[in-house]
Structure 1
């Protein structure tokens, strides 16, 4: 029995050495923020706030041509992140990030220029890409903004 388990262990070690040889892992990360532009003035001011729970989609195509679709939700700081570890030969080549929805009942109108962001992913392993903020606006501008 002991002999049998050591044979399997040797086979697994050999397979790992042969199969894993030359394959380099690559890790990428994309992150961004979703903000409520309360006054609709297209600038971040003291009246604006981040949106928790906003949904963002990130679509990436790899160097090998595979299309990967990610979904992320913002945290309490309005931040979303998608990350992936894969063989270096399959790393992301280009990506498109776009807002899907804001679940904030007062701030759910997509702001101008916030439809999508397309970008090439040229970062080395372990480095991240920051997407410009996506902006939602109030249904009606509060009176203190006018």
Structure 2
């Protein structure tokens, strides 16, 4: 149980800190091994559980935040942050850095990353289209 002085100090701290609202953003996507190298995700393709990505985020005043993400067992990566509303994300650039998969290590799509505006309200996420890697040699069944 709080004493009167402690309760007053806590209430005052909440009042002073409550003037800045928090904002939460999330960027997510998948990394896929494009087995046949056809630049599309098909039944022969599989997710990469060992992909590494870099996410650059620009805040309203031009500050750049640098995040690193790794894919999980389902090939999904996610970056989430709760920050003051004044620092919310404005634009983002997501790019794969590497695939540690033993057979699927070459970039499968022509672009080095995806740039996008982040105009989502707090608590919502932006899903980036899948990044593709391909094997050094295409299997015969792909022809």
Q: TM-score, normalised by structure 2?
A: 0.93
The 3-state SS of whatever aligns with 1:92 is coil
* Residues 109 and 131 in structure 2, CA contact (< 8 A), matched pair in contact too: no
Mark the structure with the bigger radius of gyration: 1
What aligned pairs does 1:38-57 form with structure 2 within 5 A after superposition? 38-57=35-54
CA distance in 2, matches of 1:93, 1:25: 15
Give the corresponding residue for 2:82. 85
CA distance in 2, matches of 1:112, 1:78: 17
Q: TM-score, normalised by structure 1?
A: 0.91
Structure 2 unmatched ranges of 5 or more: none
Give the corresponding residue for 2:102. 105
CA distance in 2, matches of 1:96, 1:116: 7
Matched, 1:12 2:10: yes
CA distance in 1, matches of 2:100, 2:30: 15
* Residues 114 and 134 in structure 1, CA contact (< 8 A), matched pair in contact too: no
Query: Among residues 20, 23, 31, which one is paired with 1:23 in the alignment?
Result: 20
What are the Cα deviations for residues 73-124 of structure 1, in whole angstroms up to 9, with x where unaligned?
1111110000011111110000000001100010000112241000010011
CA distance in 2, matches of 1:60, 1:83: 11
CA distance in 2, matches of 1:112, 1:55: 16
Give the corresponding residue for 1:129. 126
Cα root mean square deviation, aligned: 1.7
